[in-house]
Structure 1
Amino acid sequence: MLAPMALLLGAVFITYKILQSIHRVYHDRRTAKALGCKPAAAIPSGILGISGFLTMMKAVKEKRWVEHIASFYETTGTTFVQTAIGGVEMYGTTDPENLKALLATQFQDFRLGTRHREFYPLLGNGIFTLDGAGWTHARGLLRPQFTRDQVADLDLMDGHVTRMIDLIPKDGSSFDIQRLFFQLTIDSATHFLFGESVGSMGSSSEAGILEKTAVGDAQGFAEAFNMSQEYLAARSRVLGFYWMINPKEFREANRRVHEVVDHYVRLALESRRHPEKQTGRYIFAEALAADNDDPRVLRDNMLNILLAGRDTTASLLSSAFFYLARHPDVWQRLRQTIVDEFGDGEHPNGDITHARMKDLRYLRYFLNEVLRLQPPVPLNFRVAAKDTSLPVGGGPDGKSPVYVRKGQVVTYSVYAMHRRTDLYGADAHEFRPERWEENSKRGWEYLPFNGGPRICLGQQYALAEASFTLVKLLQRFDRIENAQPEVQQPIIQCTLTMSHDAGVHVRLFSA
């Protein structure tokens, strides 16, 4: 008796799912027609997206998956639809109008989707993983950290940059400047955001924090943090199957990173108990502790902003020196611009201030061009919170709206958009800062710091730190050599942010 009943219930369930699917298709077609939508160009991905996924994994292994995704747009135009692993359709776009809709004008239509669950083991509940009220509150606490007065105060930064310069070989030998930049930015970010530097470059007054934890030293922390991010990126690539990627190596790396950040949680809670010891400068960690004394809440929020403070600026500076080492004419012009304004290391000309750096147009053009070709966050995505549409990308001419149903993923490649020849000219793939002299006004086609309500709060801080570091280095050194002549194009290591997989090996000389 039970067997026939089970068969009947099974048949009813299958029939229900079929009818539900038919109703969904009918609903989607009717809604798409009402919105004037037409299909986007399709990328073949095989049954259930398996062949496309395997090709992607091959590109990941070869350190070229950012370029692999960018290649899709060469055949489809600015928007495509693809069957992802598991048979779910997702969109990709590089159209400025679509990015404007995703990030600003239709902000309420799109959310972070599964990012919270994908990134939770490392980042928990923070500004990069939350939507809604939680995100709004975290952003509100962070905003005072990046006021004009805070960003313009370069004294804190000066000591860390000076320490980094001390570590650069003065005999013209080759070294990896990217490694130093990641140490610089972790030291300055922890000092700026948490009130005390982690001391990864070994300054005598601040050393010891890393040595007291399981990471052991700066290299140990970098390895743990980078490994955690590699696994987060892998979880993101497999979409709904993220839960399958949770090995012991990943969990252990997260534990080591959390142990370091927990040191700053204890400092913040101590400042809450003894407000008389606070410096008077706005410090995010102290403001966070004043708002909430839950150690897990503090750790999550502090780790989220530490990720941005360390990785994005280090990425920008590393790419800057990658190009400087291969474009001696740019080095010479940039250095002359800096020396004319601030003098050289032996004959300085006044204080280096935020306002004076912003007035150096060629420095600004140079950083714009670095960010154009190597945006620190080259890929991103949003998930539809309701049935909606993108403004363009559908139909034979790509000018019709595209229907996006609730739960559907829309990826966007800032990396690919920044290299569009119709936006940046026939030489869009070439490094040429002078293009910004010709046209320095850009809209949604230039998004190194994202846009809309979630635009990077630390944009001005990152640019100030990168500018200040460049000024100090080019004052001190008058010549650069590329120590990797075999590497002519960046080998991109993309986790949550972009770095150079082979490092950035240079030689620096002073007269």
Structure 2
Amino acid sequence: MPPPPGVNFLLRAFLRLSLPVAGIYGLSHIVEKLRLGVRVPSAVVIGACFAINPLLLALKGAWTAYIQRREARGMGAVPIPVVRGEKRWPGNFDLLLFLMDAFEHGYPAEPFWEIAERVGHFFNLKILGQDQLFTTEPEHIKQVLATEFNNFEKGEEFNKSTISVLGTGVFNSDGDLWKFHRSMTRPFFSRDRISHFQLFERHADSAIGLMKQRICEGYALDVQDVFSRFTLDSASEFLFGACVDSLKSTELGLAYPHDAPAQLHSTKANSVSSADKAPARFSEAFSKAQKAISLRLRLGDNWPLWELFEDKTRGEMETVDAYLQPILQQALAKKGDIKKTAEDKDEIAEDETLLDHLATLTDDRKLLKDELLNIMIAGRDTTAATLTFAVYCLSENPGVLSRLREEILGKVGSARPPSYDDIKEMKFLRAVINETLRLYPVVPFNVRTSIKCTTFPSPIPGGRPFYVPARTNVAYSVFMTHRRKDLWGPDALEFDPDRFIDERLHKYLTPNPFIFVPFNAGPRICLGQQFAYNEVSFMLVRLLQSFSTIQLDTKSQPPDTRPPESWKNVGGRQAIERIFPKSHLSLYSHGGLWVRMEEASNEVETA
């Protein structure tokens, strides 16, 4: 078993710091051996040994700063504003601790709003001597994702932080390897493949059955849990051809509210068999592993110091691997000796899953697992998050919910499953989903690394551009960009789907499309975008055919996962939030989303 990341980090640091010290010590001995008439006092040698590494670090910093200033002048650019921690600790360590605490206990992007108000929407956190650029400017995001795509990559630091979970999959690769992964999966996301609504129907019916059962018991239910199972079952069948059946397992029933009678919790826990626990273990382990790597990304390249005694992802990924290995083995055995040539690699049989397709292209089991997990994150977690926050927004806006039901019942009726054409024609449904993605984008933060030095345009007309050094992390937040009033209008913090239909669409979004990038943009735009829209749309239609009202039940929410009272004094959406949004790689509602719903009466079908 390899040592924990922190041990390797400290060993490398020790060797790096020991070499200059050894050089000083050796040089003093050489001077004495040569008998040059110079005797170096021991105190001087010891002092030099202690001073050499700080001196070299200072010299390196000074040299780097000189080179960057010279490059910036040559480009006619200005340096990016550097944010300092309030306590002015060396290396901005106080700022790092503040940001870490805010990430764990605060509202998404909470500390960055205050910084943006002081210095603007583009700044340098510069933690532990490492430049950490942060932007919410649409033009910068456009440059990173599209116009200067070849100069920005995931980068070595991102790879080291996430490789234990994502491997070398499409989300964690660059250059030719990324193109290889992209080419393997692209054919599987054609319209014919993403419009197989029979798959959605089976799992949506199971999900709604569970919801009705819980409503009949008189308890609130956690719809985030239901949607996570729905998307897990849909994604596993779509990707593997082997549904995990997390919805159909009768033993693996839905959780009860925290204040439900104790015997309900104990009965559920004691009745689950080992086989039925497997999907839940897989899902929980996968979520914990994602949380661990998201923390690494926020810590920068010093993250191993937080994992001195254990790799926080190892145990979780062992659980994930144990679940996937039989599925991979079955797929490799199934393919036999069939191989696809370059000419027919884009041809996919009707009953062929993505795993079947990939297995005909490679025998590399690790590559297969990595690619499936990458697509699983995109196909499961992000769709579950969109459904969760859509229901939250509908519960807080009954007028929108009523209007959406009218469109659904008028177009599809109260019982018939929607078709691809039905969903395509429901403009308000699409607007509701887009508005949900605007306020609660599933990937609220992302990062790229510059390859060569470049410049970002100033948001001030006529202002000098900002200098971006080579090999520098550039984090961007669509969460913040989507909520900026100067980009979306004075009502930017309100949930109003009509902004994607009325004149505001042409006033704000049409002339500046990079203010709305929930699925990324440019060459790395999400391949599963339309699959996600179809799946979310289908589930929302079936949900509102089955239930006429949705009400948030905050009393059923575990007390330690409710929004703190202090949020009410902050302002913005944070002040009115009734749930606790948090994120690992994707956004989720901390502690679930507990609601009560009223089952719909048998309305007359009008479609």
Please confirm whether the aligned pair reaches a TM-score higher than 0.5, indicating the same fold.
yes
On the 8 A contact 1:375/1:414 being kept in 2, the answer is yes
Q: Deviations over 1:195-227 (max 9, x none)?
A: 1211111269xx9xx9777x9333322321111
Q: Secondary structure at the match of 1:352?
A: coil
2:245 is aligned with 1:199: yes
Letter in 2 for 1:263: P
Stretch deviating more after TM superposition (299-308 or 241-250)? 241-250
On the 8 A contact 1:233/1:495 being kept in 2, the answer is yes
Q: From 363, 375, 379, give the equivalent of 2:441.
A: 375
Letter in 1 for 2:220: S
Letter in 2 for 1:58: D
Q: Which residue of 1 aligns with 2:344?
A: none
2:354 is aligned with 1:284: yes
Q: Deviations over 1:445-478 (max 9, x none)?
A: 0010111111111110001000000001111111
| Superposed displacement of residue 40, structure 1 | 2.9
Distance 2:319 2:327 in 1: 14
Q: Secondary structure at the match of 1:43?
A: coil
Distance 1:65 1:472 in 2: 31
Letter in 2 for 1:371: L
Stretches of 4+ aligned residues off by more than 4 angstroms? 5-23, 210-213, 485-488
In structure 2, relative to structure 1, the CA distance for the partners of 1:397 and 1:43 (3 Å cut) is farther
Please show how residues 9-408 of structure 1 align to structure 2 within 5 Å: 21-45=61-85, 46=88, 47-84=90-127, 86-113=128-155, 114-168=157-211, 169-171=214-216, 173-202=219-248, 216-246=277-307, 247=310, 250-273=313-336, 280-345=350-415, 348=416, 352-392=418-458, 399-408=463-472
In structure 2, relative to structure 1, the CA distance for the partners of 1:18 and 1:230 (3 Å cut) is closer
| Superposed displacement of residue 65, structure 1 | 4.6
| Superposed displacement of residue 27, structure 1 | 2.6
Distance 1:234 1:211 in 2: 33
Q: Secondary structure at the match of 2:505?
A: coil
In structure 2, relative to structure 1, the CA distance for the partners of 1:476 and 1:37 (3 Å cut) is same
| Superposed displacement of residue 48, structure 1 | 0.3
Distance 2:467 2:233 in 1: 46
2:512 is aligned with 1:472: no
Q: Secondary structure at the match of 1:42?
A: coil
Distance 1:296 1:484 in 2: 43
Q: Secondary structure at the match of 2:129?
A: coil
In structure 2, relative to structure 1, the CA distance for the partners of 1:162 and 1:42 (3 Å cut) is same
On the 8 A contact 2:292/2:312 being kept in 1, the answer is no
Distance 2:550 2:57 in 1: 65
Distance 1:105 1:392 in 2: 16
Distance 1:272 1:63 in 2: 49
Structure-1-length-normalised TM-score: 0.91
Q: Secondary structure at the match of 1:444?
A: helix
On the 8 A contact 1:479/1:509 being kept in 2, the answer is yes
Q: Secondary structure at the match of 2:550?
A: strand
Unpaired runs of 5+ residues, structure 1, are none
Letter in 2 for 1:76: V
2:4 is aligned with 1:4: no
Q: Secondary structure at the match of 1:72?
A: helix
Q: Deviations over 1:477-511 (max 9, x none)?
A: 11222212776514122100000003111111122
Distance 1:508 1:5 in 2: 81
Letter in 1 for 2:514: W
| Superposed displacement of residue 51, structure 1 | 1.0
Q: Which residue of 1 aligns with 2:496?
A: 432
In structure 2, relative to structure 1, the CA distance for the partners of 1:48 and 1:435 (3 Å cut) is same
Stretch deviating more after TM superposition (461-470 or 233-242)? 233-242
Q: Which residue of 1 aligns with 2:9?
A: none
Q: Which residue of 1 aligns with 2:531?
A: 461
On the 8 A contact 1:98/1:392 being kept in 2, the answer is no
| Superposed displacement of residue 71, structure 1 | 3.5
Distance 1:426 1:88 in 2: 36
| Superposed displacement of residue 264, structure 1 | 2.3
Stretch deviating more after TM superposition (491-500 or 164-173)? 164-173
In structure 2, relative to structure 1, the CA distance for the partners of 1:70 and 1:312 (3 Å cut) is farther
| Superposed displacement of residue 399, structure 1 | 3.7
Distance 1:243 1:134 in 2: 26
Distance 1:314 1:280 in 2: 26
| Superposed displacement of residue 12, structure 1 | 9.7
Distance 2:362 2:297 in 1: 30
Distance 1:355 1:369 in 2: 21
Distance 2:54 2:29 in 1: 14
Q: Cα RMSD over matched residues?
A: 2.7
Distance 2:370 2:165 in 1: 8
Q: From 462, 480, 495, give the equivalent of 1:416.
A: 480
Distance 1:75 1:2 in 2: 51
Distance 1:436 1:129 in 2: 33
Distance 1:274 1:196 in 2: 21
| Superposed displacement of residue 97, structure 1 | 0.6
| Superposed displacement of residue 3, structure 1 | 5.1
Distance 1:479 1:2 in 2: 79
Stretch deviating more after TM superposition (156-165 or 20-29)? 20-29
Stretch deviating more after TM superposition (236-245 or 459-468)? 236-245
On the 8 A contact 1:94/1:416 being kept in 2, the answer is yes
Distance 2:367 2:274 in 1: 23
Q: Secondary structure at the match of 1:478?
A: strand
Letter in 2 for 1:499: Y
Distance 2:57 2:113 in 1: 37
| Superposed displacement of residue 15, structure 1 | 8.1
On the 8 A contact 2:338/2:360 being kept in 1, the answer is no
Distance 1:245 1:13 in 2: 23
In structure 2, relative to structure 1, the CA distance for the partners of 1:335 and 1:37 (3 Å cut) is same
Distance 1:329 1:418 in 2: 23
On the 8 A contact 2:227/2:384 being kept in 1, the answer is yes
Letter in 1 for 2:517: L
In structure 2, relative to structure 1, the CA distance for the partners of 1:25 and 1:53 (3 Å cut) is closer
| Superposed displacement of residue 22, structure 1 | 4.7
Unpaired runs of 5+ residues, structure 2, are 1-24, 31-44, 254-271, 340-347, 556-561, 564-575, 602-607
Q: Secondary structure at the match of 2:171?
A: coil
Q: Secondary structure at the match of 1:429?
A: coil
Larger radius of gyration: 2
